[in-house]
Amino acid sequence: MIKPKFISMLSLPSKISSLVFLLFIWRNEPTNAKEDIQYDINADAWVVMESETGKVLLDKNMNKQNFPASITKIITAIIAIEERELSEIVMVSEHAQNTEGSSLSLKAGDQISLLDLLYGIMLHSGNDGAVAVAEHISTNETDFAQKMTSFVKSIGAKNSHFTNASGLPNNEHYTTVYDMAIITRYAMKNAFFKEMVQHKTYNWDEQLWRDTLMTHEKSEAKEYGIAWEGKPKIINHNRLLGLYEGATGIKNGFTHESRYTLVGSANRNGSELIAVVLKSANVDTAYKDIITLLDEGFRIKKASSNQVKRINEEVSTNNVVEESVLDNSNSKETESNSTIPIENQIIYASILGIITFLILTFWVKIRSKK
């Protein structure tokens, strides 16, 4: 009978072939994806990251520092959620009231729950609300900004620095698309944060429903195609929720210095991706950029999944063949003088391995030309 040692040698080339197959498949993964889409993206810097693993699928200038604008509020919100109770009451200061830019029309002396403020800063992007949160947690906004910088560095965002809670421009207030992806990936692990950024609207406190806020939100509802019922309700400024199937957030931003910034996320077939763009020319290009990046990211994910499936099938087929050879060897006995010398066994195994390697190489070359 064929000795087990020979069977082991027979199985060796098939295992090698599986490894060779794996290496060639991964080597021929669509590595040109970044080059293929870079001319379709307007933003100065962008990245696509797997939410589950943190793996970067696509990027350009991912460590280049840019102004973040209101996507800064992602950090403000996640710090508040982790450090305080949502039921806490926040007193609005004069400094918060006078903060320039996007506003919730808050007045000094207003009392509002932290829960409402978080929705106000993440959906409506209220700068006054962000400052009120910062002062509630750290007494003053400067100290809170230092906390923000320390926090993001502690979770791996090493190239960011913040000077305020809202995202207003400052030469020392900057981030990168990679850092924002890391920060967002961290924040989206928090169940409340993840739920909050998916809301298209949020019912607002009637006592704080001022004419300026109502006028603004009525206009936003019309622009985004949301039915206006005349009730106190703030509208999520993130258009991606209505533009992209499976969108799960997250935050948009704009200042003249930063241009348009956007952090988007989406889930497809149980897989979630995070995309970030900084310094896109206008609001339309920002959303077009994010949609293009998410589409390409999911395409890469699907291609990789199909490759893994083929590899598993190849390994499974090899295992079946090995078991079949082993079964046949046990059922057929031969005379002892018919045993194949060990030197011949090694030569045979080596030749089989080389042939398998050459066939797979030829197959992959043909596939890459299609």
Crossing angle for the helix pair 73-83 and 141-154, to the nearest 10 degrees:
90
Among 11, 51, 70, 102, the one annotated catalytic:
70
Contacts of 54 (CB under 8 A, 6+ apart): 182, 185
Among 14, 93, 125, 166, the one annotated catalytic:
125
Hey, how many other C-beta atoms are within 10 angstroms of the C-beta on 307? 16
242 to 137, 239, 273: CA distances (angstroms): 33, 6, 17
Residue carrying structure tokens 């409506």: 124
Q: How far apart are CA 337 and CA 347, in angstroms?
A: 19
Task: Work out whether strand 201-203 and strand 233-235 pair parallel, antiparallel, or are unpaired.
Answer: antiparallel
* Long-range contacts (CB closer than 8 Å, 24 or more residues apart) made by 20-27: 20/356, 20/357, 20/360, 21/311, 21/314, 21/360, 22/311, 24/360, 24/361, 24/364, 25/307, 25/310, 25/311, 25/364, 26/307
Considering only CA atoms, which of 265, 255, 268 is closest in space to residue 291? 265
Q: How far apart are CA 271 and CA 301, in angstroms?
A: 9
125 is catalytic: yes
308 to 22, 24, 305: CA distances (angstroms): 8, 12, 5
What's the CA angle centered on 51, arms 47 and 55, to 5 degrees? 60
Contacts of 322 (CB under 8 A, 6+ apart): 7, 10, 11, 14
Considering only CA atoms, which of 75, 46, 66 is closest in space to residue 58? 46
Among 17, 73, 233, 258, the one annotated catalytic:
73
- Residues serving a catalytic function are 70, 73, 125
